[in-house]
Structure 1
Amino acid sequence: MSTSNIATAPESVEPSVLEEKTEVGILKTPLSAPTASSTAPEKQALTADQTTKYDWLLSRVKEWTEVQSKEKSGPLTDGEKMWLTRECLLRYLRATKWHEKDAEKRLQETLAWRREYGVEELTAEHIGPENATGKQILLGYDKHCRPCHYLNPGRQNTEVSPRQVQHLVFMLERVIDLMPAQQETLSLLINFKSGKSRTNTAPGIGQGREVLSILQTHYPERLGRAMIINIPWVVNGFFKLITPFIDPLTREKLKFNEDMTQFVPKEQLWAEFPGGELQFEYDHDVYWPALQRLCAEKRAEQVQRWEAGGKQIGEKEDYLKGHDVQGVSPPPGYSTDTTQGSTAV
C-alpha cells in the first residue's frame, strides 16, 4: 500500500454507517469484526534454524533501496517498505520451503510485479463497475477470524477484460485490509449458482491460469480455506482442467458442497449459503462506499502506527493492527528521512 495516496479515514465512523440495515433487518454493509467466539489459531514459534533464515532474509531486505522492474524501476517507497513486514517475509519463506535465497528472489519479483501491475494505483472508481452486481463481496469472518471473500460468478456483468482480473486483485488488497491482528489468511466462499442471464459461470482457462499464477506467486500463504457450492458440470470440468496448476497444499484447502457452518458462524454466514443466518442484500450504492471507508480507516491506522514505530522494514503486523503495544525497536538516530542500506533490489 502507498502511504502517499491512502485516503484519510474519518476520525470516527458511526456503526450505523458501517453496518447499515434496512427496516426489515437486512444488512447492506460489511461487518467490521469477527464474532466474540471466533479465535485465530495460535502461531507456531520459529525453530532456531527458521529464525536464522529469517534474520538472514531481513538483513538482506534492509539493504534494498531500489526496485528493479521492466518499466518502473526506482527507489523503494514508504508503502513498499511497510509492505515488507515480518509476517510478509515469513510467508515467502514458508512458500519457498524455507529456502531463504528463493524467498529473497520471489520478494523482489513481487515488488516489481506490484509496480508494473499498478496494484497501488487501482481505484474504487475504476473497479466499481465490475462489482455493480455484487459478484465479489467481503462480508463477515469465519471461526478462525479470517475475512470471508465471496465470489458469485452467476452475477457476472462484464465481458472478459484485464479489469476483471484487476477487480480480483483490488478485492484481495481490501480483504487484507480487513484481516484482524493474529490472522493473515482469508476464507474464500464461491457460489456457482446460475445467474439470471448467464448459465456458464466458469472463467476461461486462460484467465483462470492468470488468476492462479497471481495468487500463488504474489499472494503466497494467504488462502486459509476455499468453500465451494452449487458446482455445475461445466465448472466441475473447469476445476479438473486447472487442478494441475494448483499447488498441492492449496488443493487440500478446497471444500466442496460441505456444511459451511462448520467453518463460519451461522450469524456471519450469508444466507445464500445453506445454514447461513446473515440476511444481506447487495446494494452497490450503499455497500461499495462503506467498504472503501472501512478499509481506508484501517489502512490509515496502520500507516500511523508504522510511522510512530520508526518506519521499519520487518515491522510486526500485530503491532500495525493494534494488538501489540510495541513494534520492532526503531534504529538508533531514527528520523523520518532516514534511508536504509545501499543495495538495489
Structure 2
Amino acid sequence: MWLTRDCLLRYLRATKWNQAEASKRLLATISWRREYGVEGLTPEHISPENETGKQLIFGYDNDARPCLYLNPGRQNTSYSPRQNQHLVFMLERVIELMPPGQENLALLINYKDTSSGKKGPGLSQGKEVLNILQNHYPERLGRCLISDLPWFITTFYKLITPFIDPVTRPKLKFNPILPEHVPASQLVATVGGDVEFEYAHDVYWPALNRLCEERREAYRRRWEDGGKRVGESERVLRGGELKGQDSNCR
C-alpha cells in the first residue's frame, strides 16, 4: 500500500533518475520504516508530546499543500526518542490528509516565545531529523516557512545548513510574510492569519486521529479493491480520478 507509483517516482526524482541509487534508497527506507516502527506509532504513545500543541496540522497553503506547524516555544518534554517519533507520526498524518494529486506539505516553523533557556534541539538531534526527512520522505517538502527567529536559533541553522540537501535549501524561507504563502483564511492568527484558534488537546487530538483513521481505511479499501498492486496511483487511492500519464499505471 505504501509502495505506490508516486512513491517510486519520488525516489527517482530525488536521485536524478539514477535507478540503482533510487532502488538503494528505497530499500533503505523500507528497512527503516520496519525498524523504526512507523506504522506502530500510536496516538496514545505520542499524545504526551503534543499536549501543548507544539505540532499542529491546520489549513492549506496557496498550492493546496497541507500545513504542518512546528511551535518550539511550546516545548513540554525533555529530549527522548519519542520527540523524533512525534515528528514522524505527524508527517504520516499530514500525508494522509493530502488531497488527490497532492504529494507535498508546507512546514511552518514558528519560534515565538522560544527562549535560550528553554531546551531546544541539539545539533545531533537536528541532524537525525534531517536524515529522516531527506532520506525517508524525499520530495515531500514543498516549502518550509521559518518565522520569529531569535539569534541563538539563527546560529543553530547556520550550523545545520551544511547538512541540508542543496535541493532542499531553496525551499527554506526565513521570516517570510506568511499570508503571501498561506491564505489568511487558512492561517492561524498567531502567525498573521485570520483564524482564531486555541489548541485544546482533549478536543484536537482525538479529532485529528479519528479523521486520519477514516482516510487511512478508505485508502486501504481502494488499494484492496484495486488488487493490492504495487505501483498503484496515489490519486486513485485518495479517491481521485486518473488523468494524463496516471492512466498508464492501470
Smaller-chain TM-score bracket: over 0.9
Q: How many residues align?
A: 246
**For 1:24-69, what per-residue CA distance to the aligned partner results, in whole angstroms no more than 9, with x for missing partners?**
xxxxxxxxxxxxxxxxxxxxxxxxxxxxxxxxxxxxxxxxxxxxxx
Distance in structure 2 (CA, Å) of the matches to 1:319 and 1:201: 43
Partner of residue 224 from structure 2, selected from 307, 313, 316: 307
Moved segments of 4+, more than 2 Å: 197-202, 325-329
Q: Give the helix-richer structure, 1 or 2.
A: 2
Distance in structure 2 (CA, Å) of the matches to 1:314 and 1:167: 28
**Counterpart residue type for residue 309 of structure 1:** G
Distance in structure 2 (CA, Å) of the matches to 1:270 and 1:127: 23
Match of 1:120 in 2: 39
Q: Percent identity?
A: 63
Distance in structure 2 (CA, Å) of the matches to 1:262 and 1:309: 40
Match of 2:156 in 1: 238
Match of 1:321 in 2: 238
Any conservation in 1 of the 2:78–2:119 contact (CA below 8 Å)? no
| Gap runs ≥5 in structure 2 | none
Any conservation in 2 of the 1:177–1:298 contact (CA below 8 Å)? yes
Match of 1:248 in 2: 166
Q: C-alpha displacement at 1:198, in angstroms?
A: 6.9
Partner of residue 153 from structure 1, selected from 55, 72, 77: 72
3-state SS of paired residue (1:206): helix
CA RMSD of aligned residues (A): 1.4
Q: Kindly name which structure, 1 or 2, has the bigger radius of gyration based on alpha carbons.
A: 1
Give the TM-score, by structure 2 length: 0.95
Match of 1:175 in 2: 94
Q: Residues 172-321 of structure 1 correspond to what in structure 2 (within 5 A)?
A: 172-195=91-114, 199-200=117-118, 202-274=120-192, 276-321=193-238
Distance in structure 2 (CA, Å) of the matches to 1:130 and 1:175: 17
**Counterpart residue type for residue 230 of structure 1:** D
**Counterpart residue type for residue 25 of structure 2:** R
Give the TM-score, by structure 1 length: 0.69
Distance in structure 1 (CA, Å) of the matches to 2:132 and 2:43: 20
Any conservation in 1 of the 2:106–2:143 contact (CA below 8 Å)? yes
> Are residues 278 and 307 of structure 1, via their aligned partners in 2, closer, same or farther at CA, if it must alter by over 3 Å?
same
| Gap runs ≥5 in structure 1 | 1-81, 330-345
Any conservation in 2 of the 1:202–1:238 contact (CA below 8 Å)? no
